[in-house]
Structure 1
Amino acid sequence: MAAEYKTIHPVKYYRDYLAHDVRPDGRAFQKFRPASVNVGSIKTADGSSLVKIGNTTVVCGIKLEIAPPKAEEPGKGFFVPNVTLPPLCSPKFRPGPPSDQAQVASHFVAEVVSNSACIDLGELCIVPEKLVWVLHCDLYCLDHDGALLDACVIALIAALRTVTFPVVEYDADKDTTVVSEKKRKSLTVHSAPVATTFAIFDDDILITDPTTEEETLSTGLLTIAVQGQKLCSVYKPGGSPLSEDQLQDCISKARKRAEQINQLVETALNPPER
């Protein structure tokens, strides 16, 4: 009977739970789903990670390419993020060109990396005006069950911290390039931003880490990216407004969660000895 009621009246079904200060999956309003991080799972990539938040699963693979720099930025390399949401991850996505949500996710990831200055594009320069590194960062969603932006940012930062470069030697006289795969150096990641998503219900109820169902039924969404005490990016695609106190509360919760996530990533990168 409950399944039929949920199908016919999904919003009322959900709000009946909210009225009792609990969510259908048993979580309290401010409870996060379990998260896990694995790194180095793609052997053919120059850096990789796999992140799960509840059922949401995102894999990130990074490939390096040598290319000429932009004329207006001769001493800087490139960072190219791309989020893919295939039909495999959710029935609401179809084959074909990138969906609006995929494009929004790619833009958000690029904005977070830029605002947090977690990588220095100047350090990607091999020979000024001649050669630079391009970081192709492909984020592929295997299962979409809410908080996609959170998973993408965590997966990207974890993968960036595993990237290693081959040593490149450039002979200006002969205009030749020699790449030594045996000698590699790590990419310097200067900061570790973390994104946290909140769902808004009826202007007065805020829940953290929403599932896809909760995102669909909510009256508004908010994603906050922080790096330490710094606010890197805020994404709110319309919906219910937030008061100043509610926004500050969300920022505070995002900062606390960032500490936990960064510790999780650190453990994945440097597992304790058994």
Structure 2
Amino acid sequence: MPREAEISVNEREFILKALQESVRLDGRALDAFRPLELTFGDEYGVADVKLGRTRVIARISCEVTAPLPERKFDGIFQIITEFSPMASPAFEVGRPTDAEIILSRILEKAIRRSNALDTESLCIIAGSKCFALRADVHIVDHDGGLIDASCIAVMAALQHFRRPDVLVEGEKATILSVREREPIPLSILHQPLCVTFSYFEDGERFLVDANMAEEQVRQAEVIITMNRHGEVCQIAKYGGATVDPLALLNCNTIALQKVKELSKFIQQKLEEDVKKKDKGGLMAELSAENAR
């Protein structure tokens, strides 16, 4: 099975020695993220995230289907991850790695199980028709920090997406086109984001947003998912190093600050995209048609 290209013993020792002196190879502070870029596609629901050299593209799509028999009043929402072989030599189509399994599990708990999306709002006719939403997460470049970048991409894409409006007459539902009626944004209940802490020196030292080289020499990782209101959605730990409870509380404080900054950044990019799309006035044209 293909493996990630491992760093040499000298590189490993150099990184660990630098971290003992609170120095990172790229000059960042221990609690600093790499430069973050977020762009949206021409169509609704496509978010392209670049975190340093890591790149993730999330795409939201929807279709009308029958709801699950046990959840007649809810729509369907699922997250699918796809690791491209061009992102890393360790990724192979059809053979999920541990990284892919962990990423899928974390995103599932962070976004779907925390009810970030109001699935009841996706119901069209109870027990008969609903919207089935699908978030496809494509890993294009891998240089560490996949979980944080993927969570940002999915949440940004969900907030950017617009579903078609529906006209319901009894048991008949008519899906209206964009020209007939302005599409509707999704009902987002809260905006969970992930912050990953990597631990070194038997849990004595940690840093935020490790790159690929730092991930290869860390002893453990703690993923904290919370929203900007400080509500913790999940805490996941992988690796053998023990983590002091007080250090974990400190991580929660740092995570809250980072999540607030990221939420503000995403909101700013969404507002910029709305202004860009409205320039020239398709939305104005649709509003005028609706008014008539």
What residue in structure 2 maps to residue 123 of structure 1?
121
Q: Which residue of the partner structure matches residue 241 of structure 1?
A: 242
Aligned to 1:199: 198
Does 2:77 match 1:76? no
2:86 corresponds to 1:85: no
**Residues 57 and 141, structure 1, Cα contact 8 Å, conserved in 2:** yes
1:128 positional shift = 0.1
For 2:12 and 2:61, the matched residues in 1 are separated by 43
Residue identity opposite 1:97 in structure 2: R
Q: Bigger CA drift: 16-25 or 50-59? A: 16-25
Shift of 1:19: 2.7
State which drifts further: 175-184 or 106-115: 175-184
Deviation readout 1:56-101 (Å, 9 max, x if unpaired): 1111001101110111110001111011111111122123233332
Q: After TM superposition, give the deviation of residue 176 of structure 1 in Å.
A: 4.7
Q: Whole-Å Cα distance in 2 between the matches of residues 64 and 100 of structure 1?
A: 28
Q: 1:191 to 1:198 in 2, by over 3 A?
A: same
Structure 1 residue corresponding to 2:175, chosen from 158, 164, 179:
179
Name which of 82, 97, 102 aligns with 2:95.
97
Distance in 2 between the 1:165 and 1:196 partners?
Answer: 29
| Cα deviation, residue 42, structure 1 | 5.1
Q: Is the 8 A contact 1:37 1:268 kept in 2?
A: yes
Alpha-carbon spacing, 1:62–1:218, altered in 2? closer, same or farther (3 Å) = same
Q: Cα gap change, 1:65/1:140 in structure 2, threshold over 3 Å: closer, same or farther?
A: same
Deviation at 1:258, TM superposition (A): 0.5
Q: Structure 1 residue runs of 4+, over 6 Å off?
A: none
Match of 1:236, SS?
strand
Q: How many Å separate the matches in 2 of 1:102 and 1:210?
A: 17
SS across alignment from 2:175: strand
1:18 shift after superposition: 1.6
Give the AA of the match of 1:186.
P
TM-score by length of 2: 0.85
Would the aligned equivalents of 2:192 and 2:226 in 1 still touch at CA under 8 Å? yes
Letter in 2 for 1:232: C
Inter-CA distance 177–98: structure 2 relative to 1 (3 Å threshold): farther
The percentage of aligned residue pairs carrying the same residue is 26
| Contact 1:221–1:239 (8 Å) recurs in 2 | no
Which residue of structure 2 lines up, in the alignment, with residue 135 of structure 1? 133
Q: 2:93 and 2:24 mapped to 1: Cα distance?
A: 33
Residue number in structure 2 paired with 1:256: 257
The one-letter amino acid paired with 2:137 is L
The root-mean-square deviation of aligned C-alpha atoms, in Å, is 1.9
Contact 1:163/1:187 (CA < 8 Å) preserved in 2? yes
Maintained 8 Å contact 2:83/2:93: no
Q: CA deviation at 1:8?
A: 3.9
Kindly state the Cα deviation for residue 156 of structure 1 after the two structures are TM-superposed.
Answer: 0.7
Conserved? CA contact 1:83–1:103, under 8 Å: no
- Tell me if the contact between 2:77 and 2:112 (Cα under 8 Å) persists in the aligned partners: no
Stretches of structure 1 lacking an aligned partner (at least 5 in a row): 1-5
Equivalent residue for 2:146?
A: 148
> What letter is aligned with 2:174?
V
Normalised TM-score (structure 1): 0.90
Task: Specify every segment of 5 or more residues in structure 2 that has no aligned partner in the other structure, as ranges.
Answer: 1-6, 277-292
| Separation (CA, whole Å) in 2 of partners of 1:89 and 1:120 | 33
Assess if the C-alpha contact under 8 Å between 1:42 and 1:61 holds in 2: no
Give the partner amino acid of 1:192.
Q
CA shift digits 1:9-56 (9 cap, x unpaired)? 2321212212322012222222221112112x153xx41111111111
The match for 2:287 is none
The offset of 1:256, in angstroms, is 0.1
- What secondary structure sits across from 1:69 in the alignment? coil
